[in-house]
Amino acid sequence: MSYSKRSEIPAQYTWDKTAIFKTPEDWEKALKEIEALIPAFAAYKGKLNNKETILEYLLFNTKHNKKIGLVYLYAFLGQDEDSKNTEAQTRWGRVMSMFAKLGEATSFADPEISANSKETLEDMIADPRFSDYDVSLKMILKGKDHILSAEEERIIASFSSVLGNFKAAFDRLDNGDIKWAKVTVDGKKVPLSHGVYSQLLHNPDQKVRADAFKKYYKGYIDVINTLSSLYASQVKVDWTRARTRKFGSTMESALFYEDVDKKVYENLIRCINKNLEPLHDYIALRKEVLGLKTLNMYDLYVPMIENADIKLEFDDAYDLVKKALAPLGKDYVKVLEQARKERWIDVYETPGKRSGAYSIGMQGVHPFVLLNYQQTTNDISTIAHEMGHAMHSYYSNGTQPEDKADYKIFVAEVASTCNEVLLLKYLLNTTEDVNVKKYLLTFYLDMLRTTMYRQAMFAEFEYISHSMEEKGETLTYENLCKEYLKLNKKYYGKAVRHNKEIAYEWARVPHFYRAFYVYKYSTGIISAVCIAEKILREGKSAVANYRKFLTLGCSMDPVSELKVAGVNLTTNEPFDIVAKSFADTLEELKKLLGK
């Protein structure tokens, strides 16, 4: 189902922002109240040198942070509804300006708290009155060597809004300004968009796929100088921030604040690289099954098995997801239905709407989910994925105090991907149609290919690009394309043609503007597959452990949180388990295909 205007969409398929603020005027009032509070935050400057004043400051923060978060959320959702809505964009600009002022006014806090002696910090951590803040205090204690003077922190904070503009500029370009030529489908000219492009890659006509691929990438190639400048500037900012805080690399800085051992990252890259052969075998099988003389990069998404894609209206798809997630408990499914009735979800694609999908959660209101739903198996899986994020936020926010409620990015993809795996396992176990089963096996392989393998490739590219900057090499689009194409060839092997356009793929990945984020998709699916298999194999005990994991927020370091759910990423075992799962699934598919 598609709509030419947002106003045409039935209300039940749009999110209800009145749960945050009833009217824009209420938002305006809250924003002004926060702006008026900024001097009160700043009044603590120079006073955070004793336990009592620090506790008072922390409690003051807690008292007002919820409203600050809601003001941010309302503006964030509004600007994502339509990138060309000037009122919404103005609102978002005002929020970012407010955050810059607030960040500058409070930049003294961490340096002043950090300046206290190790003994004072340890005393606060042991004091029950600080129990809601012990995780933050432990990170301050751990990061004493990386927190600068109050004046230096103030200067850095004053540049925060400017340094964040590279991502904002990319988003505006990607969602509003890039122009694509129309694609001919069944004799009709179809306007190209992110969602339509994704759909056309599943089209059975190779000429349609090729046309969509070339025209989609031409949109990026036409502005590649701008895109490479934006990305190179973001990488430079990342390295400057890391170096300023006395880290040896951007990766070291990113993993430090995630509280993740770097050997998890190293394990991922090493284990994926040693297990590329099954992926190459799958790509070769895809070429054979599709009967193509030449397999192209735009042929990697078209279904290998015809007439088996699951096409459902959104409500039917949502009901299917609820059934698949029933092993997680009746109360879990009840909240899923509550989310639909209370309009947590913005369902359909419209002009100017942010592409892709996400979930965002804040204390003080339920989570919100953005979709761009199309009737494909992949989009049904996306419902399960994003609702996994939402449920993680729902349980974490409902269990932990504010300072511990926001789970680390490292574990952010586990609940979402676990839902996807449970959905797939449910479909495989309930279908009696051999053709559909073949399709689902290919879907699982493609899920691992695009999430475990592809995101690991992204992670390796990100490591390379940041290392180049750290060595003083200039990041031009030519050398970025060269490195990306080398990785593409290594990961996908010789059975596929590495079309020249694919070298530019890095230029359209929004997550690259958040340094060392993408590898967590790989570790996330590895953890999720292990957890889902435990749930289905062990039942209540595994569910109880997993449900406890969902409530932990950031009350523990993320690697330890995963151990609660039964996954130890400090070893090679989880990586090897999922690599074997890929190889075993490939063999099962080959048997059904008679190969």
Residue-by-residue DSSP string for 37-102? HHHHHHTTTT--SSHHHHHHHHHHHHHHHHHHHHHHHHHHHHHHH-TT-HHHHHHHHHHHHHHHHH
Is the pLDDT at 111 greater than 90, yes or no? no
Is the pLDDT at 147 greater than 90, yes or no? no
Q: Give me the pLDDT at residue 295, please.
A: 97
Is the pLDDT at 549 greater than 80, yes or no? yes
Torsion of Cα atoms, 335 then 339 then 344 then 348, to 10° = 130
Is the pLDDT at 233 greater than 80, yes or no? yes
Quote the DSSP letter at residue 353. Answer: P
User: Using 50, 70 and 90 to split pLDDT, how confident is the model at 144?
Assistant: confident
Query: What is the per-residue pLDDT across 127-137, written as a single tens digit (0 to 9) for each?
Result: 999 999 999 99
Please choose, from the candidates 403, 396, 392, the residue with its C-alpha nearest in 3D space to the C-alpha of residue 62. Answer: 403
Q: Of residues 104, 386, 501, 561, which has the active-site annotation?
A: 386
Helix 118-126 with 51-81: angle, nearest 10 deg:
80
Cβ atoms of residues 163 and 156 within 8 Å: no
Is the pLDDT at 2 greater than 70, yes or no? no
Is the pLDDT at 3 greater than 80, yes or no? no
Report how far residue 79's alpha carbon sits from residue 77's, in angstroms, rounded to the nearest whole number: 6
- Lowest pLDDT segment from 143-152, 358-367, 394-403, 452-461: 143-152
Q: Give me the pLDDT at residue 579, please.
A: 87
Chain-centre distance of CA 187, in angstroms?
37
Report the DSSP beta bridge partners of residue 174.
Answer: none
Report how far residue 594's alpha carbon sits from residue 589's, in angstroms, rounded to the nearest whole number: 9
Structure tokens at 491: 């990961």
Cβ atoms of residues 488 and 498 within 8 Å: yes
Q: Which residues have a Cβ under 8 Å from the Cβ of 520 and sit 6 or more positions away?
A: 409, 410, 412, 413
Q: Give me the pLDDT at residue 577, please.
A: 84
> Quick check: helix, strand or coil at residue 19?
helix
Is the pLDDT at 466 greater than 70, yes or no? yes
Terminal Cα distance for the chain, rounded: 38
Query: What is the per-residue pLDDT across 482-525, written as a single tens digit (0 to 9) for each?
Result: 999 999 999 999 999 999 999 999 999 999 999 998 999 899 99
The verdict on whether 470 is a catalytic residue reads no
Q: Give me the pLDDT at residue 151, please.
A: 84
Is the pLDDT at 164 greater than 80, yes or no? no
Q: Give me the pLDDT at residue 257, please.
A: 84
Q: Give me the pLDDT at residue 376, please.
A: 87
Torsion of Cα atoms, 462 then 385 then 421 then 427, to 10° = -140
Chain-centre distance of CA 496, in angstroms?
28
Q: Give me the pLDDT at residue 307, please.
A: 81
Residue-by-residue DSSP string for 95-109? HHHHHHHHHHHTTTH
Q: Give me the pLDDT at residue 7, please.
A: 86
- The number of residues making up the chain comes to 595
Structure tokens at 65: 């942070």
The whole-number average pLDDT for the span 338-361 is 94
Please choose, from the candidates 110, 410, 362, the residue with its C-alpha nearest in 3D space to the C-alpha of residue 265. Answer: 410
Is the pLDDT at 4 greater than 80, yes or no? no
Element (H, E) at 165: helix 165-172
Beta pairing, strands 368-370 & 345-346? parallel
Q: Give me the pLDDT at residue 153, please.
A: 81
The whole-number average pLDDT for the span 135-151 is 87
The whole-number average pLDDT for the span 263-270 is 89
Structure tokens at 254: 């990113």
Residue-by-residue DSSP string for 317-374? HHHHHHHHTGGG-HHHHHHHHHHHHTT-EE-S--TTPPPS-EEE--TTS--EEE----
Burial class from Cβ neighbours inside 10 Å (0-12, 13-18, 19+) for residue 186 reads: exposed
Cβ atoms of residues 393 and 358 within 8 Å: no
Query: What is the per-residue pLDDT across 5-30, written as a single tens digit (0 to 9) for each?
Result: 888 899 999 999 999 999 999 999 99
> Quick check: helix, strand or coil at residue 572?
coil
Q: Give me the pLDDT at residue 580, please.
A: 87
Report how far residue 374's alpha carbon sits from residue 203's, in angstroms, rounded to the nearest whole number: 13
User: Using 50, 70 and 90 to split pLDDT, how confident is the model at 1?
Assistant: low
Q: Give me the pLDDT at residue 504, please.
A: 98
Q: Which residues have a Cβ under 8 Å from the Cβ of 329 and sit 6 or more positions away?
A: 543, 547
Beta pairing, strands 358-360 & 368-370? antiparallel
Cβ atoms of residues 391 and 422 within 8 Å: no
The whole-number average pLDDT for the span 263-276 is 90
List, in sequence order, every beta strand (DSSP E) within 464-523: 496-497
Report how far residue 366's alpha carbon sits from residue 91's, in angstroms, rounded to the nearest whole number: 21
Torsion of Cα atoms, 365 then 371 then 375 then 379, to 10° = -90
Report how far residue 387's alpha carbon sits from residue 154's, in angstroms, rounded to the nearest whole number: 38
Q: Of all residues in the chain, what percent carry a pLDDT higher than 90?
A: 80
Is the pLDDT at 258 greater than 90, yes or no? no
Query: What is the per-residue pLDDT across 204-222, written as a single tens digit (0 to 9) for each?
Result: 999 999 999 999 999 999 9
CA angle 65, 71, 76 (to 5 degrees): 120
Q: Of all residues in the chain, what percent carry a pLDDT higher than 70?
A: 99
Query: What is the per-residue pLDDT across 81-91, written as a single tens digit (0 to 9) for each?
Result: 988 889 999 99
Report how far residue 308's alpha carbon sits from residue 305's, in angstroms, rounded to the nearest whole number: 6
